[in-house]
Structure 1
Amino acid sequence: MYGVILDENRQPVEGVNIYYADIEGTIRTVSDRTGFYRIELPVNRKVIVWFEHISFRLSSVENISLQANDKFEFNLLMVSGYQEITGVVIESDTGKRRVEGLTAISPDVIRNIPGANAGVENIIKLLGGNSNNELSTQYAVRGGNYDENLVYVEDVEIYRPFLIRSGQQEGLSFTNTAMVENVDFSAGGFQARFGDKLSSVLDITYRRPVRFGAALEASFLGGSLTAEGVSKNGKWNAITGVRYRDNSLLVNSQETQTNFRPTFADIQTMVNFNPNEKWELSFLGNISQNKYHYQPLSRQTNFGTVDDPIALQIVYDGQEKDEYETYFGAVKSTYKVSDNFTLKVIGSVYHTQEQEHFDILAQYALGEVDTNIGSDTFGDIRFARGVGSQLNHARNNLDALIVNGEVKGLHNIKKNQVEWGFKYTREDIRDRLVEWEVIDSAGFSLNPPRIDLPVNDQPYNPYFGPLVPYQNVRATNFVEINRFSGYAQWSRRAKLGTADIFMNAGVRAHQWVVSTRGANGNSQVTFSPRVQFSIKPAWEKDMLFRLSGGFYHQPPFYRELRDSLGIVRPNVKAQQSIHIVLANDYSFKLWNRPFRLVSEAYYKKLDDVNTYTLENVRIRYRANNDAVAYAYGLDVRMNGEFVPGAESWLSFGYMRTEENLNDRGYIARPTDQRLKFGVLFQDYVPNIPSLRLYLNLVYNTGLPGGSPSYADPYQYQLRLNDYRRADAGFSYVFVDGKKQYPQGHWLSKFRELALGLEIFNLFNNQNAITNTWVRDVYTKTQYGIPNYLTTRVFSLKLNVRI
């Protein structure tokens, strides 16, 4: 149990005695100068917690009953009069999440985890998500792709940019870590109250300030500044964050020498108004501007064997200028009609303007490397096996406006809980694609694959066919989509003999119509019934079993409607998944400290699958629903205090996912990542407890991504090498919640002050995200040259909170 204690003027109260009486004695703690307190409570029995201060009258909270590993926040306003809060039965959010299959992630863990893209998404890759790209915030969950994950912030669905093709272009994710209060994550089998996606749900709640505060974070990769406060009458509170990021440090560590000038910045604010105890009105706004300017200069990649070393040398000309501007605003009204009925009305608008403009000429030479150490040309190509060039051009522009209106209700009827909701969405997208690629090898133009053209085997025989680009995409789309969706679900806690049980059943419905200037699609409707059942036997061991599943549908979003040639297919069907999850949740003590072990086995049967190719983070769909697929696997994770006072996580996963395209047989899907292993470990030096270590280890087996993007997947089932990465953070903590300084000391002004060193890719592993394919003219062999991600990088980091 923890929280903040304030007086009638909303000022923190220091020195409040917080205690409860137990059969083993009285357990006490004291609030610090910020009014913050934390106290450990016994599990599975009701206690009374008292708040005592010489300047205020006694206060208490009765009937607090928590389960193992539960965390309950209680913020108290102390007044000059006897205040006893009686008859309050506390059902912790952690216990509720446990039976619903949601994983709660501590904001402190999120802030401390090291990584090239530190934040909420970074730790999700340890829990149920997979990723082989540290430059990307995107994640795939249990065989799905990046477009199959729901993200909510304050009950509002969040969207990602449309034109992003590379992780280094993404900049900032929507979620501002410094503003986060609660993070819940489900890797599958989630309830009907969540939306229509196939894979996962990330549900984020922002903090409601109770006092003035500010936080600063700065590093060589950028920084953020967050400020929060509350009005004198306590009815208004607000929190605002400004962020800036520059990926130059990471990108300049790659093999390609560049002039790289990125600017990723955003401002985000949440304002809450509480006119009375029953009503809260909130506004959440975000403005983001990402400018990605990229001018490659040269590259050399060495590969081959010791006996036959080969190198690819490339000289570039041209540049890329991408810009992504997004504007987001949402208003939410929460009204407590009665003690048993809560009503929410939500409206949101999302507007994005994106451009992707580039002209890049790459002239390459592929050949044998001079390995003579004494040679003036050591390391250079001495004999060229292949020469050629590649010209890429794009003038892609997109403007999208998405408007949502939603009503939600929650009813508590004795031991039953009924939830319902209705939502209208209008999507208006204007999109122009002009993109082509020309390739020549030894001066001869290459024809595109899979096209009815005469065979071009120059220079051996003359070619009389037409000269066409290797790839050519031209399309202009004006698309309007109107959607109506809704859900209703019922939940109940009960007893089955001596065991506690939890039941949930619900259904979602979704209707949509896609309209284009050329044609209007058919009206389509889906129904998605879902159920959950959890049982906690009355055993000495704190163990819970959970079975969940149902029919999950994903009506196509705009990118899923657009085929590989950029043409919108308005009648693309919703992908359907029959999803079953069987889980065991075991809470126990090890070394007299709390731990939790969660095991989940899952199976998905997918129909009307919209197959796709994946290159870096760019997804191109075939938009024809001509495949079936399946996924199954096992996820095991354990978290607890391996070191006293520091939470760490271990995770292991096995997965297999395959698809069958037009009855040609089952092959691996682009996200078929068989094994993964992740560790988030926190430690400190025993003799110097202020010196702390944060270690983030990831091992994933290779994805099917080594073949050319145009290749027939039934002929090319190549995989990238395994992904291995270790990020470490070393931090010296001058001030935190456990250390106190006397008034007048220069450190007494800070709630937190830490200075650290981060080492990304600690062991300098070479991880590849794609391959560049180059032809050898003499042997007619194609070589796949890995496109490596970042190497070892050092950065300093400063954290300040007041």
Structure 2
Amino acid sequence: HRGAFNSENHLVNWGVKFQHESFKDKMKEWIYRDSTGYSIPYSDKEVLLYYTLKGKNQINSNRITGFIQDTWNFPVNIGSLYITGGVRFNYWDFSKEFLISPRASLSYFPEWKEKISFNLSGGVYYQSPFFKELKKRDGTINYDIKAQRSYQIVLGSDYILTAWNRPFRFTAEAYYKSMSRLIPYNIDNVRIRYLSEQKSTGYATGVDFNINGEFVSGVQSWASLSLMQTKEDIEGDGHGYIPRPTDQWLNFSLFFQDYFPGNPSYKMQLSGFYGSRLPVGPPHSERHQNIFRMPPYRRIDLGLSKVIISPANKSEHRLAHHINDMWLSLEVFNLLNINNTISYFWVSSIYGDQFAVPNYLTNRKLNLKLTIKF
């Protein structure tokens, strides 16, 4: 159920949701490592597995969530001020937790020549665990698990500027999140494995910048830059704060469009991505052993397209009576043919040493496509 009430200076929204969940889980995992003439662990009498895990679980639970918030509009002498305050609640009968999350935000629009606004928001956020977060490393369920909690504050600004007689929007945000009751996790290849028997405290802090507009008249382009650090301290491990699996201090992305002067039916799209090194460690290891870093992620994609039929030129084509749009495109993915590492395959020697062999994402790919819309 959702509802709203609007008056002269107030906008009130509310909602309530009930959700029933039923899970049946059956798990059987094993790893057998062998090479020429031997296997690990070695036995000349029987086949021994390197790793085994079995589990069988069934859970039925109910959740009730809801919220109510109000937005006030306060006209001031030098602009407009908007204040939004509200509360969210969550009850989950599995953990018997009743969680209340107060939140508030403030937006100020000054009456300046420049179109600019400032935003400040903060609150308490809870994330109740889902089924994967409940499972321990031995496949059993942690019935004492609690919701993860975060105290957050975000300061931002939105600025509309003019360059080359065209509008651009620049946004900037800085944030800090103090987190507790975290559920640590490992990333094993492309699978996330939670360590629900452990708890940690942590933080995340960073800044985000984004600009978008018509760098070329008539087509939108954008660029974004993010700087971030996130760490956690796992209770009882004695290693203090360590990087979380998502600790990636720099991310940059770019999307640029252009067309041939005088003939906009020929278009070009260029996108670029850069992500700094992520922490990684051997499989089935403790979190503090993720002391290595993957190589940075780098990729450039290029797209070229030709509009053949459009609503503006349908009359020029005899066969276009039933076709609204048609264009031909050539896409080059991973233009520079960079080997980006997604994960590692860990090879063990007979002496127990482990060697990381990278698994790469796809190399350069070409895609020729004809698109027709009726």
Normalised to the residue count of structure 1, the TM-score between the two structures is: 0.45
Partner of 2:260 in structure 1? 685
SS at match of 1:746: coil
How far 1:624 sits from its partner (Å)? 2.9
- Is 1:487 aligned to residue 67 of structure 2? yes
CA distance in 2 between partners of 1:623 and 1:420 (Å): 33
CA distance in 2 between partners of 1:466 and 1:627 (Å): 41
Q: 1:628 to 1:677 in 2, by over 3 A?
A: same
* Aligned residue among 682, 692, 695 for 2:270: 695
* 2:190–2:343 contact (8 Å) kept in structure 1: no
Partner of 2:251 in structure 1? 676
Partner of 2:169 in structure 1? 596
What is the correspondence of 1:514-529 to structure 2 with a 5 Å cutoff? 514=94, 522-529=95-102
Deviations 1:542-574 (A, max 9, x none): 111001121110011111111223222233110
CA distance in 2 between partners of 1:512 and 1:427 (Å): 10
What is the correspondence of 1:203-282 to structure 2 with a 5 Å cutoff? none
State the AA in 2 paired with 1:795: N
Partner of 2:227 in structure 1? 654
Partner of 2:56 in structure 1? 476
* Aligned residue among 334, 359, 364 for 1:787: 359
Structure exhibiting the larger radius of gyration computed from Cα positions: 1
Q: 1:533 to 1:741 in 2, by over 3 A?
A: same
How far 1:774 sits from its partner (Å)? 1.7
CA distance in 2 between partners of 1:714 and 1:625 (Å): 13
CA distance in 2 between partners of 1:441 and 1:495 (Å): 75
Q: How many residues align?
A: 372
Q: 1:798 to 1:464 in 2, by over 3 A?
A: closer
* 1:692–1:731 contact (8 Å) kept in structure 2: yes
Deviations 1:149-188 (A, max 9, x none): xxxxxxxxxxxxxxxxxxxxxxxxxxxxxxxxxxxxxxxx
How far 1:412 sits from its partner (Å)? 0.4
* Aligned residue among 270, 285, 294 for 1:720: 294
How far 1:497 sits from its partner (Å)? 2.0
* 1:575–1:625 contact (8 Å) kept in structure 2: no
Partner of 1:708 in structure 2? 282
* Aligned residue among 102, 107, 115 for 1:542: 115
SS at match of 1:568: coil
Of structures 1 and 2, the one scoring higher in RCO (CA 8 A, sep 6+) is: 1
CA distance in 2 between partners of 1:465 and 1:660 (Å): 44
Q: 1:781 to 1:570 in 2, by over 3 A?
A: closer
Deviations 1:625-678 (A, max 9, x none): 510110000110100000111100100011000110115300110111111110
Partner of 1:101 in structure 2? none
What is the correspondence of 1:598-677 to structure 2 with a 5 Å cutoff? 598-663=171-236, 664=238, 665-677=240-252
- Is 1:735 aligned to residue 309 of structure 2? yes
State the AA in 1 paired with 2:210: R
How far 1:752 sits from its partner (Å)? 2.0
- Is 1:533 aligned to residue 106 of structure 2? yes
CA distance in 2 between partners of 1:441 and 1:742 (Å): 68
CA distance in 1 between partners of 2:289 and 2:13 (Å): 49
State the AA in 1 paired with 2:28: V
Q: 1:579 to 1:465 in 2, by over 3 A?
A: farther
How far 1:439 sits from its partner (Å)? 1.7
SS at match of 1:560: helix
* 2:329–2:369 contact (8 Å) kept in structure 1: yes
Deviations 1:290-324 (A, max 9, x none): xxxxxxxxxxxxxxxxxxxxxxxxxxxxxxxxxxx
Deviations 1:195-235 (A, max 9, x none): xxxxxxxxxxxxxxxxxxxxxxxxxxxxxxxxxxxxxxxxx
State the AA in 1 paired with 2:366: F
SS at match of 1:569: coil
- Is 1:799 aligned to residue 366 of structure 2? no
SS at match of 2:284: coil
* Aligned residue among 127, 136, 139 for 1:566: 139
* 1:740–1:748 contact (8 Å) kept in structure 2: no
CA distance in 2 between partners of 1:593 and 1:636 (Å): 20
CA distance in 1 between partners of 2:372 and 2:9 (Å): 45
Relative to total residues, which structure has the larger strand share, 1 or 2?
2
How far 1:616 sits from its partner (Å)? 3.6
Partner of 1:433 in structure 2? 27
SS at match of 1:750: coil
* 1:442–1:777 contact (8 Å) kept in structure 2: no
SS at match of 1:742: helix
* 1:432–1:475 contact (8 Å) kept in structure 2: yes
SS at match of 2:314: coil
SS at match of 1:714: helix
What is the correspondence of 1:95-106 to structure 2 with a 5 Å cutoff? none
Q: 1:713 to 1:441 in 2, by over 3 A?
A: farther
State the AA in 2 paired with 1:789: L
Q: 1:743 to 1:443 in 2, by over 3 A?
A: closer
How far 1:594 sits from its partner (Å)? 1.1
State the AA in 1 paired with 2:147: A
CA distance in 2 between partners of 1:490 and 1:652 (Å): 33
SS at match of 1:709: coil
CA distance in 2 between partners of 1:466 and 1:583 (Å): 63
Percent sequence identity over aligned pairs:
37
Gaps of at least 5 residues in structure 1 are 1-406, 448-457, 515-521
SS at match of 2:132: helix
CA distance in 2 between partners of 1:596 and 1:608 (Å): 38
Partner of 2:40 in structure 1? 446
CA distance in 1 between partners of 2:100 and 2:7 (Å): 26
State the AA in 2 paired with 1:783: F
Partner of 1:501 in structure 2? 81
* 1:429–1:479 contact (8 Å) kept in structure 2: yes
State the AA in 2 paired with 1:798: L
What is the correspondence of 1:750-765 to structure 2 with a 5 Å cutoff? 750-765=323-338
CA distance in 2 between partners of 1:587 and 1:793 (Å): 38
How far 1:441 sits from its partner (Å)? 5.3
What is the correspondence of 1:98-497 to structure 2 with a 5 Å cutoff? 407-440=1-34, 443-447=37-41, 468-497=48-77
* 1:599–1:637 contact (8 Å) kept in structure 2: yes
How far 1:444 sits from its partner (Å)? 4.3
Q: 1:777 to 1:435 in 2, by over 3 A?
A: closer
State the AA in 2 paired with 1:494: F
How far 1:690 sits from its partner (Å)? 0.8
How far 1:712 sits from its partner (Å)? 2.3
CA distance in 1 between partners of 2:330 and 2:317 (Å): 29
* 1:575–1:610 contact (8 Å) kept in structure 2: yes
SS at match of 2:136: coil
CA distance in 2 between partners of 1:744 and 1:597 (Å): 42
CA distance in 1 between partners of 2:139 and 2:273 (Å): 35
State the AA in 2 paired with 1:420: W
* 1:572–1:625 contact (8 Å) kept in structure 2: no
Q: 1:464 to 1:746 in 2, by over 3 A?
A: closer
- Is 1:771 aligned to residue 344 of structure 2? yes
* 1:704–1:717 contact (8 Å) kept in structure 2: yes
Q: 1:506 to 1:693 in 2, by over 3 A?
A: same
How far 1:464 sits from its partner (Å)? 11
